[in-house]
């Protein structure tokens, strides 16, 4: 027998060379798997910032704030420090789920009549639509309660990206171009986002030194600089007197915000919503978001349904939206426990027949008295139009803490008004209120009230162990996107990347179900035969998620193509 003689040097090389350090991808990659922590966002710079924080020993909350602040630079039309958001956090040490409400509030001077008679488009680009920003207070609360970094430290990556700049991609260009008509009517916005009178070209480097300076100053002076201090005063001045371009004919209505509204703002820790669904525990955002209650109710309805297919998915969503419209808002006495009860779900579920139910589905009676299949009475308010944009990120760390975080300035480009000299876009979140007249609507504006949201950052557990984190942008389609991903994953057996990539349809108690072209191509005929009607929607949602695969292994998933695709990264990639 011939012996193979291995040269000693080769053995040495084999056993003493450190394992090759895997270079981080230079481009967005939508799926990553590995150990030690993970992140998925829509943006490579934001995901990298989170990864760097995790690698330096920061935890999931630190990384989420760092990534959120970077998104304020690279996704400034979706998120920013003058916006708001909702964050669901699993604290592995305490084995407890917390939710942080950083939703914008209405000024004290706002009433149920303030928006009445305005059309949506008039309201969007105005001082009137700007809510009291919640994001910075939420970051501060998150870091103080759960993080290890100071706000100043957490803002560092964002300051760097804002100073050195990022590469303009097609999505950023398209979003700027779509907003160019209104951006041009605001001097500060045109100066920043329409340099030379046009959107920055794809491939160019976009810098926002004023935003870098704003973040730097915020880190130095602390949150009171915004909540009552100089930055707050400038925001109020901008809201009250928007810098309209001379000669513009746009009627940019002034807002009602006062410095006292900023001083009064608080980010809040809230109890999460929870439903038990096929042996899993699903946690989400309670009011003022309708995310947790509507996703949860629909899951309960599906659990009570004898079979679950796409028809049942659409019908359960239709019913849950009918109840959302009637019962959920930032008001006392939302019947949350009943909306999420199995008894109510059973009563609702028995309305699902072989054919699509008549439009609109009426709300049910979450009154604790559930027997039989009562004929519901009365119509539910129509789903108000909501902007299609915001962003969602997920992060997990080596200790098992998990974040699902939606942050937003509402419409793509918020209210279109950059605070002069500060590089920050204001939100138009108050357009999430019902405009009225709508007696009895739980979502009419009121002083200090938070507009009802659809944001649905969601964590799923199996016997107390996190198994999934997921969320999406997309206004009220956020709810159906999250629901459909969960149905894809847990009813149809897809893995997480497939569940995210699968074509989407959204039924929100509307006459027609909006659906992506690929969904229509695959399912339109079969569902129309059951009485469903469809309208095409080119793209629904832009989700991010994490799946915990056991033994510390994490799969991070972002969109492969929607909104230009997202970026998933893990601390120690699998080889």
Burial letters 345-369, b for 16+ CB under 10 A, else e:
bbbbbebbeeebbeebbbbbbbeee
Closest Cα partner for 100 from 351, 270, 327? 270
Please give the backbone phi and psi of residue 505, each rounded to the nearest 5 degrees, phi first: -135, 145
Which one of the spans 149-157, 342-350, 451-459, 509-517 is the region binding ligand GLU (CB under 6 A)? 451-459
434 binds ligand GLU (CB under 6 A): no
In the bound complex, what is the minimum distance in angstroms from residue 38's beta carbon to ligand GLU?
24
Between 151 and 479, name the residue whose CB sits nearer to ligand GLU.
479
In the bound complex, what is the minimum distance in angstroms from residue 10's beta carbon to ligand GLU?
57
Which of 432, 441, 491, 516 is close enough to bind ligand GLU by CB under 6 A? 432
Mark residues 497-536: x for contact with ligand GLU by CB under 6 A, - for none: ----------------------------------------
Catalytic residue check, 390: yes
Which of 453, 481, 507, 555 is close enough to bind ligand GLU by CB under 6 A? 453
Mark residues 392-431: x for contact with ligand GLU by CB under 6 A, - for none: ----------------x-x------------------x--
Please give the backbone phi and psi of residue 354, each rounded to the nearest 5 degrees, phi first: -75, -20
Which one of the spans 139-147, 352-360, 386-394, 496-504 is the region binding ligand GLU (CB under 6 A)? 386-394
475 binds ligand GLU (CB under 6 A): yes
Q: Give the end-to-end CA distance of the chain in Å, rounded to a whole number.
A: 35
Q: How many CA atoms lie within 13 A of 483 on its CB side?
A: 39
Between 351 and 542, name the residue whose CB sits nearer to ligand GLU.
542
Q: How many CA atoms lie within 13 A of 209 on its CB side?
A: 1
Q: Where are the alpha helices (DSSP H) in 75-155?
A: 120-124, 135-146, 151-154
Burial letters 508-528, b for 16+ CB under 10 A, else e:
bbbeebbbbeebbeebbeebe
Task: Please say whether the beta carbons of 199 and 183 come within 8 A.
Answer: no
Strands 465-471 and 402-408: unpaired
Task: Please say whether the beta carbons of 427 and 132 come within 8 A.
Answer: no
**How many angstroms separate the CA atoms of 575 and 569, rounded?**
14
Total site size for ligand GLU, rule CB under 6 A = 16
In the bound complex, what is the minimum distance in angstroms from residue 411's beta carbon to ligand GLU?
7
Three-state DSSP state, 208:
coil
Q: Which of 135, 214, 390, 458 is catalytic?
A: 390
289-293-299 Cα angle (round to 5): 140
Mark residues 478-497: x for contact with ligand GLU by CB under 6 A, - for none: x-------------------
Which of 74, 126, 365, 454 is close enough to bind ligand GLU by CB under 6 A? 454
330 binds ligand GLU (CB under 6 A): no
541 binds ligand GLU (CB under 6 A): no
**In whole angstroms, how far apart are CA 469 and each of 99, 260, 446, 528?**
14, 37, 33, 33
Closest Cα partner for 373 from 351, 357, 340? 351
User: Between residue 26 and residue 65, which ones bind ligand GLU under the rule CB under 6 A?
Assistant: none
The separation between CA 37 and the C-alpha centre of its own chain, rounded to angstroms, equals 21
In the bound complex, what is the minimum distance in angstroms from residue 381's beta carbon to ligand GLU?
16
8-state DSSP, 289: B
Which one of the spans 104-112, 298-306, 467-475, 527-535 is the region binding ligand GLU (CB under 6 A)? 467-475
In the bound complex, what is the minimum distance in angstroms from residue 80's beta carbon to ligand GLU?
13
Which of 47, 138, 390, 443 is close enough to bind ligand GLU by CB under 6 A? 390
Structure tokens at 90: 């699993």
Which one of the spans 377-385, 436-444, 472-480, 548-556 is the region binding ligand GLU (CB under 6 A)? 472-480
473 binds ligand GLU (CB under 6 A): yes
Which one of the spans 69-77, 206-214, 414-422, 474-482 is the region binding ligand GLU (CB under 6 A)? 474-482
Residues contributing to the site for ligand GLU (CB under 6 A): 386-390, 408, 410, 429, 432, 453-455, 473-475, 478
- Which residues are designated catalytic? 390
């Amino acid at each position: 027998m011939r012996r193979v003689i291995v040269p000693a040097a080769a053995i040495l090389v084999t056993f003493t060379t450190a394992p090759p350090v895997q270079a981080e991808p230079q481009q967005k990659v939508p799926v990553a798997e590995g150990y030690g922590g993970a992140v998925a966002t829509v943006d490579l710079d934001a995901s990298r910032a989170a990864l760097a924080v995790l690698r330096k020993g920061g935890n999931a909350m630190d990384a989420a704030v760092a990534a959120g602040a970077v998104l304020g630079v690279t996704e400034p039309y979706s998120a920013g420090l003058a916006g708001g958001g909702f964050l669901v956090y699993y604290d592995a040490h305490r084995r407890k789920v917390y939710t942080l409400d950083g939703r914008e509030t209405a000024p004290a001077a706002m009433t149920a009549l303030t928006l009445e008679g305005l059309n949506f488009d008039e309201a969007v680009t105005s001082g009137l639509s700007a809510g009291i920003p919640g994001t910075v207070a939420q970051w501060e609360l998150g870091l103080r309660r759960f993080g290890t970094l100071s706000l100043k430290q957490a803002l560092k990556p964002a300051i760097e990206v804002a100073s050195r700049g990022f590469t303009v991609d097609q999505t950023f260009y398209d979003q700027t171009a779509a907003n160019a008509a209104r951006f041009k009517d605001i001097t500060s916005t045109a100066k920043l986002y329409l340099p030379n009178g046009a959107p920055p070209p794809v491939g160019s480097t976009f810098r926002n030194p004023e935003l870098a300076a704003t973040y730097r100053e915020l880190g130095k002076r602390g949150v009171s600089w915004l909540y009552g201090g100089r930055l707050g005063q400038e925001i109020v001045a901008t809201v009250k007197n928007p810098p309209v371009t001379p000669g513009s004919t746009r009627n940019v209505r002034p807002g009602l915000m006062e410095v006292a509204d900023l001083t009064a703002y608080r980010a809040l820790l809230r109890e999460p919503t929870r439903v038990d669904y096929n042996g899993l525990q699903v946690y989400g955002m309670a009011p003022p978001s309708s995310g947790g209650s509507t996703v949860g109710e629909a899951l309960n309805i599906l659990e009570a349904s004898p079979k679950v297919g796409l028809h049942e998915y659409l019908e359960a969503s239709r019913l849950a939206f009918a109840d959302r419209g009637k019962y959920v808002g930032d008001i006392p006495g939302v019947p949350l426990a009943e909306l999420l009860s199995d008894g109510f779900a059973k009563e609702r579920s028995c309305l699902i027949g072989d054919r699509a139910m008549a439009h609109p589905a009426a709300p049910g009676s979450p009154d604790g008295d559930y027997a039989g299949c009562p004929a519901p009475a009365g119509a539910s308010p129509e789903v108000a139009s909501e902007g299609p944009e915001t962003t969602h990120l997920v992060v997990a760390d080596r200790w098992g803490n998990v974040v699902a975080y939606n942050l937003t300035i509402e419409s793509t480009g918020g209210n279109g008004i950059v605070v002069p000299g500060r590089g920050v876009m204001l939100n138009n979140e108050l357009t999430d209120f019902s405009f009225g007249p709508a007696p009895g609507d739980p979502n009419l504006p009121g002083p200090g009230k938070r507009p009802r949201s659809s944001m649905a950052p969601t964590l799923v557990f199996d016997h107390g162990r996190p198994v999934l984190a997921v969320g999406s942008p997309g206004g009220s389609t956020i709810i159906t996107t999250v629901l459909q991903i969960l149905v894809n994953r847990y009813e149809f057996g897809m893995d997480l990347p497939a569940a995210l990539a699968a074509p989407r349809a959204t039924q929100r108690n509307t006459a027609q179900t909006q659906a992506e072209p690929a969904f229509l191509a695959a399912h339109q005929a079969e569902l129309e035969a059951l009485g469903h009607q469809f309208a095409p929607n080119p793209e629904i949602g832009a989700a991010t998620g994490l799946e915990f695969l056991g033994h510390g292994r994490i799969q991070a998933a972002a969109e492969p193509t929607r909104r230009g695709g997202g970026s998933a990264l893990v601390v120690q990639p699998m080889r």
